[in-house]
Amino acid sequence: MSDASAVLADLAAHIDISCVQAQHTLRDVEELARRAVDGGFVSAHVLPTWLPVLRELLSGSSVLAGSPVSFPSGGATPATKAAEARELLGLGAQELDVVVSIGRLRSGDTATVTDELSRVVDIVAGEVPLRAILEVGHLDESTIRRGVDAAIAAGVPWIKTGTGWSGIPTTVEHIRVIAEQAAGRAALKAAGGIRDIETITTMAELGVTRFGMNATAAVAAVAASRSYA
Cβ–Cβ under 8 Å, residues 130 and 138: no
From 16, 81, 122, 189, the catalytic residue: 189
d(CA 148, CA 159): 7
From 97, 109, 115, 196, the catalytic residue: 97
Cβ–Cβ under 8 Å, residues 134 and 148: yes
DSSP at 43: E
Q: How far is CA 200 from CA 26, 127, 140, in A?
A: 30, 28, 22
d(CA 67, CA 19): 10
DSSP at 138: G
**Residue 115 annotated to the active site:** no
**Residue 97 annotated to the active site:** yes
d(CA 97, CA 178): 17
* CB atoms near residue 209 (< 10 Å): 17
Find residue 133's DSSP bridge partners. Answer: 99, 160
**Residue 81 annotated to the active site:** no
Find residue 44's DSSP bridge partners. Answer: 17, 65
Active site members: 97, 160, 189
